[in-house]
Amino acid sequence: MGMSKRGVRAVLLVAAAAALAAAAYQLREKHQEAELAVQNINDQLDALDPATRAAVITRLTAEEVKKVRDHRP
């Protein structure tokens, strides 16, 4: 005896819920990793003297602006 439409829908719903839960977990893990990386970068910048910090931020900003401009059509 085969599964009814209701049974198939229930199985698909459970599978979709499990996939969604797994994706949410992975997203949360990636978000936590990104927050840690940002905190580490901020800590390193805070440890620099003001002139060096300004030079580093200026260089990083210029590099990112160049990347954005190079990707424009």
pLDDT above 70 covers what percent of the chain?
96
From CA 70, how far away is CA 6, in angstroms rounded?
A: 53
Could you report the per-residue pLDDT of 1-37, keeping only the tens digit for each?
A: 567 999 999 999 999 999 999 999 999 999 999 999 9
- The pLDDT confidence band at residue 73, using thresholds 50, 70 and 90, is low
pLDDT value of position 3 = 76
The pTM of the full predicted model, rounded to 2 decimals, is 0.60
Q: 39, 51 in Cβ contact below 8 A?
A: no
